[in-house]
A and B are shown apart, each in its own frame.
Chain A
Amino acid sequence: MNEVELTQREQRLQGYAICPGIAVGAPYLFAMGVENIPEISVAEHEIEREVERYYCALKSSRSDLLSLQQRPENDSSEIAQILAAHLEIMKDPVMTEHVEQQIRAKGKNTEYVFKQVIGEYQEKFSRITSQFFRQRVQDFHDISRRVMKHLRKDERCSLLDITTPVIVFAHELAPSDTAEAKTEFIEAFVTRTGAETSHVAIMARAKGIPFVSSVDFPDLRTELPELVIVDGMKGEVILNPTQETRQEYRKEQKKITRKVKSLQEVHAFETKTSDGHKTKLSANIEMLDELDVMNEYGVSNIGLFRSEYLFLARDHFPSEEEQFVVYRSLVEKVISGSCVIRTFDLGGDKLGGFYPKRHESNPFLGCRAVRLMLKERVAFKAQLKAILRASAFGEVGILFPLVADIEELRQAKLLVEEAKEELWAASIPFARNIPIGCMIEVPSAAFTCDILAKECDFFSIGTNDLVQYTLAVDRSNTQMSYLYQPCHPSVIRMIKLVVQEANQAKIPVSVCGEIAANPKFTPLLLGLGVHELSVALPALTLIKNVIRQITIVEAQAMAKKVEAFTTAEQIEALLNDHYETLRATHSF
């Protein structure tokens, strides 16, 4: 066999299935690290800008180091000396004049020139005979990496730049990357890292982009496959598929399209079980362009608008006016239904550009969501005022994420009152009795939901966080993800408790996490007494179909049965069996 044949051979790689669907297309390597820097010629009039970009990156790296110096844990004289040396090396003529001169002389993009200079000096260091001095290259290495990071941040390395249909291969994707992905061009995502319920996954699902994560794919730069297939059901990625495989998958694709079409016929029907129990089905929305397709899905309510996603790429909080424009258009598009806006849920794994950076050893247990916003009072009030102003144009609810204690709810509500007073004084209209809701996603909130229910108007159970906090499992830790069990009896009991208390207090309760969009859970949730499911648009059709095929009687019987189970495996098996039977009978 010769070389060419060898490289073109079909290769199957296994990963985790994150978002279902099948894509057949050309691969595109996205932000694959320092090695992957393109060489771009720069026109003479743009050279100044390149030089300036370089000095900006140096300046940002400098402020990084200065803030590192401030941190108490870096107080030891050894670390302080290293940091001081790094700061000094950044002023080195090699790092300043030399790079600048090279950018001017070569007329190439800054990253490329900088990379060459780094290479040149690394080579010089590698030729030193003394091991001790050879290793001094480490400091230089550190600094270069820092500067490069800042350079690449400025670079318009964005999924928005993609204008032909491709399958994106990346080491890792950030929520802001996926936020920018256009569904007409991005056919699928393949990443080396990532786990099932990261926010990147939520975005991909919202957009219906097939996604396989944790794939250990080879270095594709040397031999880019012409064609790849991504199977988001099996979690498989096939490089250079054979003619046979391609045909098989094309058939599979057609089958899916047919299935989706037949499922879509249900859009015009009501959301109720076959024995007439009505359920509210709403959409989780992140992007405004999703609103345009909402009507096609036959859904009229927004159960969860994740306000932070609109602004993740910023480096400051958006102004009240800016937000008002967005929220108003949101409210106006939802003509016959209601819309719940969740206030900024920042921190944890969502580190937006405008998130004020704090250094925390455990960010998921730290200052995030409503905790963070209660500290950023000015920004919080601006958001509340923007939502209140939008309430004059249609039905809106305010939802506070990660409430863990009644006091947090009270403080947030106090701020709503302040915002109302200010608007009132300025004669700006708003809905006075705007509903205020609590996300139930922390066990402490679940166990005190009777207390919370007395002081708010609705609950929304966020199962992703609830599962991770209840089971003490980091949901993005691939090695631990087997412990992330939404079927765990503790989780089911907690949902049951919250629903019971909400019913007692006569306030509505919805479920908006991943399990709401998982058809296997639908009968159980309905059986537990959940009033509303809020799911990403692409999941709507399937969930509606399931609701329409089951009876509330069998759903309640199922909930009863689950109560007696002792392990997550048992519960999961029951949900699976039920779903398989449902699928077999109704062929979806």
Chain B
Amino acid sequence: MGKKDNQVLEKKLRVKNACGLHTRPATMIVQCLQKWQAEVAVSYKKKSVDAKSILNLLLLAVPKNGEITVTAKGVDAEQVLLELSNLFADYFGEKK
């Protein structure tokens, strides 16, 4: 295994949506991750969950302006983080 296979990248992202990280954004995160291999975890206020689980993302109850830390591990970690930050920046396609 090359070095890149195990690379772990971390990024802080801010939830800008009015309702916070609710069902629809959570669904979009999960759908986005399905395209990639990386293992992704999201942590907020010392709790860390598997980002592929909508239910667990909802349980974090991230409000508007809450800052989460996304950790991606795997060969495509970089692309995953890039795509996720785009989603967050775009308010998950909701009205700004």
Q: List the interface of chain A (C-beta within 8 A of B).
A: 81, 84-85, 88-89, 91-95, 121, 124-125, 128-130, 132-133, 136, 139-140
- B59 and A88 contact, CB distance less than 8 A: no
In the complex, which of the residues B23, B50, B53, B63 contacts A130, with contact meaning CB atoms closer than 8 Å?
A: B63
- A93 and B27 contact, CB distance less than 8 A: no
Q: How many cross-chain pairs have Cβ atoms below 8 Å apart between A and B?
A: 50
Q: Which residues of A contact B59 (CB under 8 A)?
A: 121, 124-125, 128, 133
Q: List 28 A-B contacts (CB under 8 A).
A: A85-B23, A85-B24, A85-B27, A88-B27, A88-B30, A88-B31, A89-B27, A89-B54, A89-B55, A92-B52, A92-B53, A92-B54, A92-B55, A93-B50, A94-B53, A121-B59, A128-B61, A129-B61, A130-B20, A130-B61, A132-B20, A133-B20, A133-B58, A133-B59, A133-B61, A136-B22, A136-B23, A140-B55
Complex CA distance for A136 and B58, rounded to whole angstroms: 7
With both chains docked as a complex, state the minimum distance between the C-beta of A199 and any C-beta of chain B, in angstroms.
41
Q: Is the interface of B mostly helix, strand, loop or mixed?
A: helix
- A94 and B56 contact, CB distance less than 8 A: yes
B89: Cβ under 8 A from any A Cβ: no
Report B23-75 residues with CB < 8 Å from chain A CB. 23-24, 27, 30-31, 50, 52-56, 58-59, 61, 63
Complex CA distance for A94 and B80, rounded to whole angstroms: 22
- Max chain A CB contacts within 10 Å: which of B31, B52, B53? B53
Q: Which residues of A contact B9 (CB under 8 A)?
A: none
Q: Which residues of B contact A133 (CB under 8 A)?
A: 20, 22, 58-59, 61
Complex CA distance for A132 and B27, rounded to whole angstroms: 17
Q: How many residues of B contact A (CB 8 A)?
A: 18
Q: Which residues of B contact A124 (CB under 8 A)?
A: 59
Instruction: Please give me the residue from chain B that is nearest to A127 by CB atom.
Output: B59
With both chains docked as a complex, state the minimum distance between the C-beta of B37 and any C-beta of chain A, in angstroms.
15
Q: Which residues of B contact A93 (CB under 8 A)?
A: 50, 52-53
Instruction: Please give me the residue from chain A that is nearest to B62 by CB atom.
Output: A133
Instruction: Please give me the residue from chain B that is nearest to A81 by CB atom.
Output: B24
Q: Which residues of B contact A91 (CB under 8 A)?
A: 30
Q: Which 3 A-B pairs have the closest CB atoms?
A: A133-B61, A88-B27, A128-B61
Q: Which residues of B contact A125 (CB under 8 A)?
A: 58-59
With both chains docked as a complex, state the minimum distance between the C-beta of B52 and any C-beta of chain A, in angstroms.
6
Instruction: Please give me the residue from chain B that is nearest to A124 by CB atom.
Output: B59
Instruction: Please give me the residue from chain B that is nearest to A130 by CB atom.
Output: B61
Q: Which residues of A contact B22 (CB under 8 A)?
A: 132-133, 136
With both chains docked as a complex, state the minimum distance between the C-beta of B72 and any C-beta of chain A, in angstroms.
17
Add 5 more A-B contacts to A85-B24, A136-B58 (CB < 8 A): A84-B27, A93-B53, A129-B61, A130-B61, A132-B22
